Amino acid sequence: MDWKVRVCASVEEVRAAVSPIWHYFGRTGPNENQIAPLTRVLPTERVHAVWDDDRVVGGAGAFPFTLTVPGGRVRAAGVTVVGVLPTHRRRGVLRSMMRAQLDACRERGESVAYLWATEDTIYGRFGYGVASYSIEVDIPRERSAYYTPAASAGHTRLVPLGEAEPLVAPVWERVAAVTPGMFARSSAWWQARALADPDWRRRGGGDLQCAVLEAGGRSTAYALYRINAGADRGVQVGSLDVVEAMGDAPEATRAIWRFLLDVDLTARTRASLLPVDHPLLLLVAEPRRLRANVRDGLWVRLVDVGAALSARSYAVPGSVVIEVVDEFCPWNHGRWRVGADGVARTSEPPELACDVTALGSVYLGGLTWAQLGKSLRVAELRPGALTRADALFRSATAPWCPEIF
């Protein structure tokens, strides 16, 4: 090994550290308009760079997030901009960055790390497990009627992006507070990311639009979207592409989606990153016409098993003893009693045995222990333990992260 990993000490070093992933975006590195917003929300010291002499050949970052988990919130690392230049691939550069990053999370007291994976083959070996699924829909406008038509639960208006934050941020916060998988957004995040509309993020689409639903003198839902206009021999073929839409109550969600589905001069409405329990699946009269497809969503890694499992709630009284194998973070290795009365190491006989990736999968309530059992990702050492564990870990709300970070 003739290279070294260390945290960045300047914005210029961050620029160098993120250049490997930019390489895979087809760019040599981020320009000024790209690096400035990134470093507003990604602290310099949260970016690791790998140096080969005086050149950076790999980089990995971690947003300092507050992540919602069932029944609570926990400090978590949102892993991002991971890349290794093709000149240095498969020599252990990623592995050394993962080592340094997870050690740093542990030192900072972040008991969870999570991410969106570009490839599903990369992160399991570092202890990340698939923790949620997300749904993509593509709805022809003429097949988008609701099962039960209803009057709108308020008044929708278009808001300039520069005025949107005070209207949309409270809605996000109300939804994020009770939805596992969502993180608290700072004002900097709204300005630098969610409400920013630089050309390079449009990918050929139109301007970012913001619609806000108001009722009773306050905002209750919003949608960020782009119109990709198009016509073929006079017939509309364009789409309305939803970037993010949510309401703080079922009526508000129904109303903002009705707005999105009814915009004229578009042939269809497209959205992705929806949670598997998204209301749209049952709001529409023709669910098949959503043309929904599913892919893996968040990947979660428990950095500190005891602290992470203590930070969430459990749905019923009782507990289960789990034998955990964690080769990459051996401090988690061992037997844990997990339940509403607390989470602690124990010497009692284990009832379930699994790799730490399985804990990542069930942590947000997105996958069940029964699913893991059927896939042989967990061994049931005492009959009934899987059912008991599912009763404990159950979450009424599926995990949802509306944004790829």
Q: Which residues have a catalytic role annotated?
A: 123, 405
* Sole window of 93-101, 180-188, 359-367, 379-387 interacting with ligand COA (rule: CB under 6 A): 93-101
CB of 386 vs ligand COA, minimal distance in Å: 30
Q: How far apart are CA 88 and CA 256, in angstroms?
A: 47
List the one residue from 4, 6, 89, 295 that touches ligand COA (CB under 6 A). Answer: 89
Contact 324, 400 (CB under 8 A): no
List the one residue from 2, 53, 54, 90 that touches ligand COA (CB under 6 A). Answer: 90
**How long is the chain?**
405
Q: How far apart are CA 393 and CA 372, in angstroms?
A: 13
Q: Is residue 295 part of the contact set for ligand COA (CB under 6 A)?
A: no
Q: Is residue 91 part of the contact set for ligand COA (CB under 6 A)?
A: yes
Q: Is residue 31 part of the contact set for ligand COA (CB under 6 A)?
A: no
Q: Is residue 18 part of the contact set for ligand COA (CB under 6 A)?
A: no
Interface positions, 34-53, toward ligand COA (CB under 6 A): none
- 3-state class of 342 per DSSP? strand
Q: CA 196, 198, 199 angle in degrees (round to 5)?
A: 150
List the one residue from 118, 187, 293, 375 that touches ligand COA (CB under 6 A). Answer: 118
Contact 77, 114 (CB under 8 A): yes
List the one residue from 8, 17, 18, 21 that touches ligand COA (CB under 6 A). Answer: 21
- Residue 80 has phi, psi (to 5 degrees) of -150, 170
- How many CB atoms lie under 10 A from the CB of residue 27? 13
**What are the E-state strand segments in 20-174?**
47-52, 55-69, 72-84, 112-116, 129-130, 133-140, 155-158
* Sole window of 120-128, 311-319, 362-370, 385-393 interacting with ligand COA (rule: CB under 6 A): 120-128
* Sole window of 18-26, 167-175, 350-358, 393-401 interacting with ligand COA (rule: CB under 6 A): 18-26
HSE at residue 317, side-chain half, CA atoms within 13 A, is 0
Structure tokens at 396: 């009424």
Sign of CA dihedral 180, 186, 187, 190: negative
Q: Is residue 155 part of the contact set for ligand COA (CB under 6 A)?
A: no
CB of 100 vs ligand COA, minimal distance in Å: 12
List the one residue from 30, 61, 64, 83 that touches ligand COA (CB under 6 A). Answer: 83
Q: Is residue 232 part of the contact set for ligand COA (CB under 6 A)?
A: no
CB of 327 vs ligand COA, minimal distance in Å: 11
Q: How far apart are CA 206 and CA 313, in angstroms?
A: 42
Indicate the angle between helix axes 32-41 and 11-24, nearest 10 degrees. Answer: 110
Q: Is residue 27 part of the contact set for ligand COA (CB under 6 A)?
A: no
Q: Is residue 392 part of the contact set for ligand COA (CB under 6 A)?
A: no
Q: Is residue 24 part of the contact set for ligand COA (CB under 6 A)?
A: yes
Q: Is residue 119 part of the contact set for ligand COA (CB under 6 A)?
A: yes
Q: CA 347, 349, 352 angle in degrees (round to 5)?
A: 115
Q: How far apart are CA 299 and CA 301, in angstroms?
A: 7
CB of 280 vs ligand COA, minimal distance in Å: 28
CB of 134 vs ligand COA, minimal distance in Å: 15
Q: How far apart are CA 405 and CA 403, in angstroms?
A: 6
Minimum CB distance to ligand COA smaller for 20 or for 154: 20
CB of 95 vs ligand COA, minimal distance in Å: 4
Binding site for ligand COA (CB under 6 A): 20-21, 24, 82-84, 89-95, 117-119, 121-122, 125
